[in-house]
Amino acid sequence: MIIAYLPGQASADGRCNLERVIIGENDAVPPEAIWIDLLNPTRSEDARVEARLGISIPTREETENIEPSEVLYVENGVRYMSARILCQSESETPKLAPISFILKDHHLVTVRYDEPRSFQMFVNRMARPAACTPTGDHMLIALFETVIDRAAELLRMAGERIDDVSPLVFGAAENDPGVFRQTLQTMGLEGARISKVRESLVSIERMLLFLTANTAGATLPENLRGEVRTTLRDLQSLEDHATFLASKIQFLLDATLGLVNLEQNKIIKIFSVAAVIFLPPTLIASIYGMNFKVMPELEWAAGYPMALALMVAAAGGTYAFFKIKRWL
């Protein structure tokens, strides 16, 4: 599907909103389109955009199997970039979707086979009056800012979920040992999500640094360089925050595993103490269970009560010894 975004009514300062148009099979790609978004495009749709703009659009296989050296490059004054954007971010199975960005003159082309929520957020923002400057490079920077804002939102929600789990680990865990399993599952999911967010931010950071470089004659307008630097600072602060959350998750995982070991040690300790307490009575019972002919105690009338009393005394003495030593 080809989705073209055309400049709407301009304001006094030259800013405008975007008008979304879906290009049918028999429709021409409008030359005034600022942003052409290819969503699950067919090869014929790729060819139509290639013919209109004089660019080369990567196929799905090329996008998914792109070599590291081909992630960022300039060809005939056209910038070709690829980043990995987080999709299905609030589900239990978030994933990174490779998305290609092509910047030629004042046209931006995106090629994607997934629907990150950040793209829909960006479209909603750009539909407002005077929301954007009608050039492709401005659109690209604004799109990156939206992706970064979405990453910040995901990190904030992850941080809140981590804070919700923390008191369970250190507070209610003794009363509800089953909370450990839930904690490990939650921390595992949040750790994977944060890791993917950070990987996405790193790929965007590389693209922003690439945009600021004068590569093969392709330059970024000076007024945009300041925006890129500000965006880079925001991105790097988010990377630091993601690192902090990852370390916090690691701390909670270590604490949870440590508490699990303590609970297991308590159980083993109970079994060990029980075995030691009942060892002397078992020894006494074993002695008087032997089949020797000469055992004077067997003839005593008080022999049986004496043996029972001896067993109780041995068990009680062992228990008292453990209490004195504070092993219980």
pLDDT for 219-236, tens place per residue? 666 667 778 888 888 888
Ranges of residues in the chain whose predicted pLDDT is under 50 = 173, 216
**Sheet strands side by side (includes 2-10):** 16-23, 2-10, 35-39, 107-112, 95-104, 78-87, 72-75
Q: What local confidence, expressed as pLDDT, does residue 244 receive?
A: 92
DSSP-assigned letter for residue 46: H
Domain spanning 2-263, CATH architecture? 2-Layer Sandwich (3.30)
Kindly write down the DSSP assignment for every residue of 105-166, as one continuous string: TTEEEEEESS--HHHHHHHHHHTSTT-B-SSHHHHHHHHHHHHHHHHHHHHHHHHHHHHHHH
Q: With both helix axes pointing from N to C terminus, report the angle between 303-324 and 222-277 in degrees, rounded to the nearest 10.
A: 150
Helix (H, G, I), strand (E, B) or coil at 10: strand
Q: What local confidence, expressed as pLDDT, does residue 13 receive?
A: 67
Handedness of CA 283, 289, 290, 295 (dihedral sign): positive
Q: What local confidence, expressed as pLDDT, does residue 221 receive?
A: 66
Q: How far is CA 76 from CA 1, 57, 79, 103, in A?
A: 26, 14, 8, 11
- The residues near 307 (Cβ < 8 Å, ≥ 6 apart) are 284, 285, 288, 297
Q: Which two tokens stand for residue 5?
A: 């975004």
Q: What local confidence, expressed as pLDDT, does residue 164 receive?
A: 83
Q: Are 238 and 151 in contact (CB under 8 A)?
A: yes
Q: What local confidence, expressed as pLDDT, does residue 272 receive?
A: 83
Q: What local confidence, expressed as pLDDT, does residue 134 receive?
A: 74
Q: What local confidence, expressed as pLDDT, does residue 92 receive?
A: 77
Q: Which two tokens stand for residue 85?
A: 């954007």
- Residue found under tokens 């750009």: 126
